[in-house]
Amino acid sequence: MADVAEKAGVSRALVSIVFRNQPGASEETRQRVLRVADEIGYRPDSAARLLARGRSRTLGVMFNLEQTFHTNLIEGIYPEAEHLGYEVLLSGATPARSEEKAVEALLSHRCEAVILLGSFAEPAFLDELGQRVVTVSVSRRVPKARVDFVHSAEGKGVRQAMDHLVELGHRRIVHIDGGRGPGSVDRRRSYRAAMRRHGLEAEARVIPGEHDERAGIEAGRLLVAERDQGLPLPTAVLAGNDRCAMGLLMALTRAGVEVPRDMSVVGYDDSHLSHLMPIGLTTVRQDAVLMAEHAVRFAVERLEKPESEPREAVLDPQLVVRGTSGPAPETAA
């Protein structure tokens, strides 16, 4: 700022007035200051100004680089944060970089609040983090932790998917579990409950997995190997999420299993992957934009009112029927 003032032939205070867009400088002086600033490449440091006032007005977002649904969430976080006057700083967790490190990086950059997308962290860590800074957990609920929660009603989503498959005549419906992934416990529990409700408890089967393509590929190979040994294929599979469903579809295609003629496949999330497949994926849609908006609002409202208690938003999912689900094969028992 001093360099701009010297070259423009004005005081530093006048430069400050111009960049804060305050009255006190003539239009000619204003334009001269802006022109000089542009020539020497000066940009006002808004972060420094905010920190001088004790605020950064920055929301930190921890996400998993491998989860495509997190991209959908981030796309919704940016506009809502900007609308409320906040910046967004991202920090990714990878197999080689823990969530704890990703979160500490956000805090070291003075983020005022942290939004965690699909956190796998231990409940104790989440509770301790919530005591230190305003924290919002998206897609995962941890009872008693002092954080805000935003997630979909997993049970409703699974019920919609299962009802859809049963109405199509499916009885041998398998679920590929999501392991420790967010929502997996509720989805697994809801799958078993739906099988009981439809009188199919004896047919219920859960294949251990994860929220990734590898789990879907391995489950597909297992089912095909069982078929080759004379066991019947399931007529439908409810995958833990869209990535798992994609891996399953890859394995089935390679083995000559036609979807949905031989087997129906349903995913969960309605991430952008569901639109990129040759056959549109039937999946349970979580409203990423609405989830993101709730997460940002929860964070900002607790920053503005520190005495307020954490809240929880449970959003309704919606089944989206596309090309990977169809009637059960006529040869199915």
Q: What is the pLDDT of residues 120-177, one digit of tens each?
A: 889 999 999 999 999 999 999 888 899 999 999 999 999 999 999 999 999 999 999 9
> Residues 148, 137: contact at Cβ < 8 Å?
yes
The CA radius of gyration of the chain, in Å to the nearest whole number, is 26
Beta-strand relationship, 113-117 and 236-238: unpaired
Tell me, what's the pLDDT at 37? 85
In this structure, what DSSP letter does residue 11 have?
Answer: -
Tell me, what's the pLDDT at 198? 97
Determine the Cα–Cα distance for residues 245 and 281; give it in Å rounded to an integer: 8
Tell me, what's the pLDDT at 259? 96
Integer CA distances (angstroms), 59 to 122, 286, 295, in order? 22, 23, 11
Cα angle vertex 77, ends 138, 84, to 5°?
115
- Residue 123 has, within 13 A of its CA and on its CB side, a CA count of 6
pLDDT of 66 > 80? The answer is: yes
Integer CA distances (angstroms), 223 to 220, 226, 254, in order? 5, 5, 13
Determine the Cα–Cα distance for residues 76 and 294; give it in Å rounded to an integer: 10
> Residues 138, 150: contact at Cβ < 8 Å?
yes
pTM (2 d.p.): 0.80
Cα of first residue to Cα of last residue in the chain, in angstroms, is: 79
**Residue 102 φ/ψ, nearest 5 degrees:** -60, -40
**Dihedral, 53, 58, 59, 65 alpha carbons, nearest 10:** -150
pLDDT band for position 4 (50/70/90)?
Answer: confident
Residue type, 262: D
How many residues comprise the chain? 333
Mean residue pLDDT of the chain comes to: 92
pLDDT band for position 330 (50/70/90)?
Answer: confident
Sequence-separated (6 or more) residues with CB below 8 Å from residue 121 = 99, 100, 129
Determine the Cα–Cα distance for residues 30 and 43; give it in Å rounded to an integer: 15
